[in-house]
Chain A
Amino acid sequence: MNIFRIFIKEMKSNFRDSQTFIFFLAFPIILMTILGTALTNAFTDGVTIDNEMKILYKNEGNKELAVYFKAFTSEALNHGFQFAEENNADKGITAVKENEVAAFIVLGNEGVDVYGSDINTIESGVIQGLMAGFANQYSLLQQKINPVIAEEIPNDFILTSSLNGKEQPDSMDYYAVSMAVMLSFFSLYASYQLFRGEKTLKTSVRLIAAPITKGEVLIGKMAGSFTMNAFFILVLIFFSKYVFGAEWGEHLWMVLMILFSLILFAICLGIAISFVAKTPEATASISIFFVQIACFLGGVYFPIDTSSGSLFSFFASFSPLTWSNEALREIIFAQNVAAGYPVILINIVIAAACFFIAVWHLHRQEGL
């Protein structure tokens, strides 16, 4: 009950603050509009599949696989994928490195390896999706013959959608996703002030003097912050979907789960920072620094290839936004729902860790 009261109070305070709306809604939408329209060319240049995509492959598997693959490639040809056999793996990889072909694929009985082009992530992402689809389809066929093998392969599939080529992200799609990710992470800005705010208003004194526990305050505030940010995310998604026509895929629930787990992560992190940092100034600067770096590395402002192996991409792979961003694109554009689970798990685990830090600090210190 007390949690609910605090939650309601938080909602009132949040929704009465017009600055909140500007910051949490207008800013991402404006940014989306600007980046989405200004950078349209940057995306279409590299991504269009008008040009045929050349793919080299090497078959190390059995004959059955080879037969299926043959059938598959002939179908893929209609959609602009050109397959050619290359039995020398080194040559295949060099061809990819020099950007002569889009990808080099090694087919085996255990699975399919895809060596993607490190210049164009989206292209290799498409091929990855394509091959995942192939693997799934193949296992489906296998199931008829040998259910034991098929059992271990996830049942969700399917290759057709990625073969359609329709669901290639254009710049607006890209920025709709990255703005949603950014906005989720912006929850940190709201949450690092949850307790600082009480302190500056001196109302923390009243909260502590009241017969409620610090835990109730913490949970109530987190719930309030979470609901507000979740609301903004929903508005952003529907706005981008119906106004800009951005693509959100068919697994909206999974998309929302990832974004919500990211919100939780950001809220817990923000609270933990506000407890660990001693002064309000330190809290603010750490938070702003952290969010901006994470956004930048997470490919919010422009795409960053995390598989390129450069130092920059190495750092980028540490940004929580990178994981979420990539998982979301997997789900939306490659229908790979399974990509979401590890990201959700990681987000929640880190959130839990931060939460425990916050709880520990709350428990230890006097007052809020």
Chain B
Amino acid sequence: MEKWLIVFKAVILGFIIIWLFDSQLRSESLLFFLLYISCNLTIYLFQKRPVIHIMSMMTIMLIIIGHLFIEQIFILLLPLNLCEWIIKWTERYFPLLLSAIAPLIFIERELQLLYGFISVISMVQIALIDQYLKKEAAWVEKEDEMRETNDRLTKSLLENAEFNKQLEYTIKLEERNRISQEIHDQIGHNMAGALIQMEAAKRLVDKDQTKAKELLQNAIHISSDGIDSIRFTLKNLKPKTEQIGVQRLKLMIDDFVVKQGVTTHFLYKGSIDLISPIQWKIIIENVKESLTNALKYSGATKIHVDIAVLNKLIKVVVKDNGSGSKKFTKGLGISGMEERAATVNGKVIIDGQDGFSVTLLLPII
């Protein structure tokens, strides 16, 4: 914008200089030119709004003074500077045109046509440039926004996939641990018992057949118990996701209590087995964020974490007894919670009226 405006201003300035050259160039006129140029340069050099406004006003005043006391033709510079300034205040082009043309009534007849012509051109030029700039700015903003959203979504998608994979692996690992533990505790014990019985039977088989038979029978019992318990272990000891979820949440809360020394109660009710792993992940992350917020801003001494599984909804509430806040700004933390919830069509409600409470609502899939 500025580049073209400067060119345009230079053209008009050049026109005026040539115009005045015919008569004579007074020293006041020279002073005016210098002042005009320096004022305009200041406008372009300083990007701060107040400076721009003050300098714009001064330039306009300078032009009017120049018009009144030095050379009338200086008024030709007015429309461009006026338009340039006014466009910063209004979005409409009509006041722009009006204000550019308004001085027409005050100036001499000979100059009126020229002035009118220049003011209309200035106005059109500035309006076009302004429109172009606004469009460009809007595009850039939109593009940025889209890129940001894209990044975020990709990231959360990846995160979720990663989480699922990891979760699966964890489950396997935990299962394996449990099984080996179980085998060690139960079956190993049984086997050892059976082995001893059989060893004794082997020794007794020639001396006391009935005793040996008894021992063997014992070993058979123990072995079949062992097989049963292997079956049982394999069938039933698969850990449940809700156990993992609750466990993790509990661990996180306990950790928080230990580290921060804020009393925190955790309650859950309803069939929490309906909560899917990905929902657990979101719940845990959001609870963590809420706890941190409560600690940071609210000055709470007591925090409740409640999970309720309703018919078609999961409701998680983190509520503290702190100062709350009627007007809070949506920071990154809250936006993050909302975004996480949104990935599974969930909602976050934040209420700061009585303490601070964050409610997470997730639909059951």
Direct chain A–B contact by Cβ atoms under 8 Å: yes
A interface residue numbers (CB < 8 A to B): 356, 360, 363
B interface residue numbers (CB < 8 A to A): 90, 92, 95
A contact face: mostly helix, strand, loop, or mixed: helix
B contact face: mostly helix, strand, loop, or mixed: loop
CB distance from B105 to the nearest CB of A (A): 10
**Residues on B with beta carbons closer than 8 Å to the beta carbon of A363:** 90, 92
B89: nearest chain-A partner, CB-CB: A360
**Residues on A with beta carbons closer than 8 Å to the beta carbon of B92:** 363
What are the 3 A-B residue pairs with the smallest beta carbon separation, nearest first?
A356-B95, A363-B92, A360-B90
Complex CA distance for A183 and B129, rounded to whole angstroms: 48
CB distance from A219 to the nearest CB of B (A): 15
CB distance from A4 to the nearest CB of B (A): 22
Complex CA distance for A356 and B98, rounded to whole angstroms: 11
Q: List 4 A-B contacts (CB under 8 A).
A: A356-B95, A360-B90, A363-B90, A363-B92
**Residues on B with beta carbons closer than 8 Å to the beta carbon of A356:** 95
Complex CA distance for A356 and B95, rounded to whole angstroms: 9
Complex CA distance for A360 and B99, rounded to whole angstroms: 14
CB distance from A192 to the nearest CB of B (A): 24
**Residues on A with beta carbons closer than 8 Å to the beta carbon of B90:** 360, 363
CB distance from A49 to the nearest CB of B (A): 41
Complex CA distance for A356 and B102, rounded to whole angstroms: 13
Complex CA distance for A363 and B95, rounded to whole angstroms: 12
B102: nearest chain-A partner, CB-CB: A352
B92: nearest chain-A partner, CB-CB: A363
Complex CA distance for A363 and B89, rounded to whole angstroms: 12
**Residues on A with beta carbons closer than 8 Å to the beta carbon of B95:** 356
B98: nearest chain-A partner, CB-CB: A356
Complex CA distance for A360 and B94, rounded to whole angstroms: 12
Complex CA distance for A356 and B86, rounded to whole angstroms: 13
CB distance from A148 to the nearest CB of B (A): 19
CB distance from A57 to the nearest CB of B (A): 35
CB distance from B232 to the nearest CB of A (A): 71
Complex CA distance for A205 and B143, rounded to whole angstroms: 37
CB distance from A215 to the nearest CB of B (A): 11
CB distance from B82 to the nearest CB of A (A): 14
Complex CA distance for A360 and B92, rounded to whole angstroms: 10
Complex CA distance for A149 and B159, rounded to whole angstroms: 94
Complex CA distance for A325 and B147, rounded to whole angstroms: 67
Complex CA distance for A363 and B92, rounded to whole angstroms: 10
**Residues on B with beta carbons closer than 8 Å to the beta carbon of A360:** 90
CB distance from A360 to the nearest CB of B (A): 8
Complex CA distance for A360 and B86, rounded to whole angstroms: 12
Complex CA distance for A360 and B90, rounded to whole angstroms: 8
